[in-house]
Amino acid sequence: TAQQNWWENAVGYQIYPRSFKDSNHDGIGDLNGIREKLSYLKELGIDFIWINPIYASPNIDNGYDISDYQAIHEDFGTMEDFQALLNEAHALDLKIIMDLVVNHTSDQHPWFLESKKSLQNPYRDYYHWADATKDLPPNNWQSFFGGSTWTYDETTGQSYFHVFAKEQPDLNWTNPKVRHEIYQMIRWWLDLGIDGFRVDAISHIQKEPWDFNITDNQWAPFMNVSGIETYLQELKAIFNEYNVMTVGEASGVPHHEAAAWTGDTGYFNMIFELEHCERIGDLGHQKGSVPHLKYTLNQWQTSLADNGWNALYLENHDTPRSVSVYGDDSPEASKALATVLLLLKGTPFIYQGQEVGMTNYPFGSIGEIDATDTIHFYHTLLEQGTISKDALAIATNWSRDHSRTPFQWENTLHGGFSTAEPWLKVNDNYRMINAAQKDLESSSIYHYYQALIRLRKQTDALIYGRFELLLPEHPTIFCYTRTTTTETWLILVQLDREQTTISFPNSWDYSDWKEILTTTEKQPLTEQMILSDYEAHVYRKIT
């Protein structure tokens, strides 16, 4: 049998550290807060934790603008706290993977401060500079966060390039010195004993030549541009030496190219694609779409059936909450989505709070928003003449801050996240939706996650079994099978409140199927079934 990798049957948990648990009463989550909650995570059944950036940063983009790669941000604690967290996690057999942000640095990083100084500075070529005037950028390319990708700098009369905020200048990967410095830094972290990396925005490190303007497909000049392979191979060689787990954030890499990017021989073990959680509809009224979710996940499952490996997720620190996007904020909807996510083929990532059913936040003013891109979007709308109330609704509709509100631990002040006023408001629904509910109710969402994780680990079929989507055209039913030579699992989920009737093939022998797990009353598998209210059923057939 083929060699099995630990990350194939592992379940991951993403921690957004500012919002997880505050241990020292300053309203900001921190490393010692994570240490307090390790047993909570162990009990859930997860195997590894991915922590969003905890490095020194001016926090223009909450830690994704790094000013010192080898220092811990004082908000989060010290290097000793980190080492203690790593040791305690390892003692519980929990692995820790860190965020690796190497497409760009902060504009306060010493390299950039040097680079700005003069055309001759030895660090000049660490970043991308081009001739420009104040009013005329080198080209018309637009950044992900809005506005030009170019910012003019008076000192030298040139502009520098950034695909995110202007405080996040892109590193020049064509410069071997830059790569050397980054690789040294990567080794430094790996030598500390961490278990791997989630590699941020890695599909953007290679850019097209600057000398053309775009007319459509505005992000193509820095999305998975050819030539990137060389750098990815170099990274891969380091990761191999240390035998660590990696997941690349690779927007713009299509499913039919993903086999080269993932699995044993790919650049990373797996990648986060961004297609399946794309919003559908007109600006400001965008929604999640179950048909889109099914269609896209099916493509990725199918493309990586024999080569490569999927990373699975429904929400993260950049997206709204999945129970609000595809559901109606109810516990039933949370459980239905968990069923879909955790039994697909790939390595699932649970985002903090998802396991207790945390929902979107009802933003009432722009002052309640922290995310740079949302604030920028709001002001652009105001400048275009949109009235303030509408601008708020449009800008916050898909804001990153929905998922960044503090973790709801219990029904006490600030949801038990902190005794101080938190950096971002806690959702008022913490009174009902919180982690302590699990101790009150055996039917809690948390316990259902536990059951799903346990189930995955009991059978190879749920790890390696072949995926097939059933009822592909149904608008709300998400149904699929996972099959090996010895058994088939059938996962049947109604992602809607409404009642619907479905039919399976007449040729099946329905007495073969046994129900293993459900979110509601057991219901035998039959040729015709009536489903409603986000119910989910998991069946198995031994062949």
Q: Which is nearer to ligand TEU, 199 or 479 (CB)?
A: 199
CB of 316 to ligand TEU, least distance (A): 7
> Site mask, ligand TEU, residues 61-90, x = CB under 6 A?
x--x--------------------------
Q: Which is nearer to ligand TEU, 355 or 401 (CB)?
A: 401
Q: Which is nearer to ligand TEU, 64 or 363 (CB)?
A: 64
DSSP 171: B
Q: Which of 273, 263, 201, 228 is nearest to 53 (CA)?
A: 201
CB of 410 to Ca ion, least distance (A): 18
129 and 162 in contact (C-beta within 8 Å)? no
Our answer to whether residue 200 is catalytic in this structure is yes
Q: Which is nearer to Ca ion, 28 or 201 (CB)?
A: 28
Q: Which of 268, 273, 265 is nearest to 244 (CA)?
A: 268
How would you classify the pairing of strands 514-518 and 466-470?
Answer: unpaired
419 binds Ca ion (CB under 5 A): no
In a 13 Å sphere around the CA of 532, the CA atoms on its Cβ side amount to 5
The binder of ligand TEU chosen from 274, 305, 463, 516 (CB under 6 A): 274
Q: Please report, as residue ranges, which positions from 119 to 148 form the binding site for ligand TEU (by CB under 6 A).
A: 144
> Site mask, ligand TEU, residues 193-232, x = CB under 6 A?
-------xx-------------------------------
SS3 of 504-537? CCCCCCHHHCEEEEECCCCCCCCCEEEECCCCEE
CB of 371 to ligand TEU, least distance (A): 9
CA angle 2, 251, 153 (to 5 degrees): 135
The one of ligand TEU, Ca ion, none whose footprint includes residue 479, by CB under 5 to 8 A per kind, is: none
CA distances from 18 to 9, 23, 119, 277, 422 (A): 28, 11, 38, 24, 9
The binder of Ca ion chosen from 21, 30, 381, 489 (CB under 5 A): 30
22 binds Ca ion (CB under 5 A): yes
CA distances from 159 to 131, 150, 204 (A): 6, 6, 19
CB of 30 to Ca ion, least distance (A): 4
326 binds ligand TEU (CB under 6 A): no
Our answer to whether residue 498 is catalytic in this structure is no
275 binds ligand TEU (CB under 6 A): no
User: What is the spatial distance between Cα 253 and Cα 255, in angstroms, rounded to a whole number?
Assistant: 7
CB of 9 to ligand TEU, least distance (A): 26
The one of ligand TEU, Ca ion, none whose footprint includes residue 144, by CB under 5 to 8 A per kind, is: ligand TEU
Buried b (16+ CB within 10 A) or exposed e, 224-245: bbeebeebbebbbeebeebebb
The one of Ca ion, ligand TEU, none whose footprint includes residue 64, by CB under 5 to 8 A per kind, is: ligand TEU
Annotated active-site residue in 30, 249, 332, 373: 249
DSSP 142: B
Q: Which is nearer to ligand TEU, 144 or 210 (CB)?
A: 144
User: What is the spatial distance between Cα 387 and Cα 145, in angstroms, rounded to a whole number?
Assistant: 22
The one of ligand TEU, Ca ion, none whose footprint includes residue 126, by CB under 5 to 8 A per kind, is: none
SS3 69: strand
85 binds Ca ion (CB under 5 A): no
Q: How many residues bind ligand TEU (CB under 6 A)?
A: 12
* Helices 388-396, 372-383: crossing angle, 10 deg rounding: 150
In a 13 Å sphere around the CA of 189, the CA atoms on its Cβ side amount to 28
> Site mask, ligand TEU, residues 229-268, x = CB under 6 A?
--------------------x-x-----------------
CB of 310 to ligand TEU, least distance (A): 18
152 and 159 in contact (C-beta within 8 Å)? yes
Annotated active-site residue in 47, 75, 107, 200: 200
Contacting range for Ca ion; rule: CB under 5 A; set: 25-33, 236-244, 382-390, 404-412: 25-33
N-term to C-term CA, the chain: 20
26 binds Ca ion (CB under 5 A): yes
User: 211: which 2 tokens?
Assistant: 């000398």
Q: Please report, as residue ranges, which positions from 122 to 151 form the binding site for Ca ion (by CB under 5 A).
A: none
286 binds ligand TEU (CB under 6 A): no
Buried b (16+ CB within 10 A) or exposed e, 292-312: bbbebbbbbbebbeeebbbbb
SS3 502: strand
CB of 45 to ligand TEU, least distance (A): 25
Beta bridge partners of 488: 483, 541
24 binds Ca ion (CB under 5 A): yes
Q: Which of 186, 130, 181, 182 is nearest to 159 (CA)?
A: 130
Which chain residues interact with Ca ion by CB under 5 A? 22, 24, 26, 28, 30
Q: Which residues are catalytic?
A: 200, 249
Which chain residues interact with ligand TEU by CB under 6 A? 61, 64, 101, 144, 164, 200-201, 249, 251, 274, 317-318
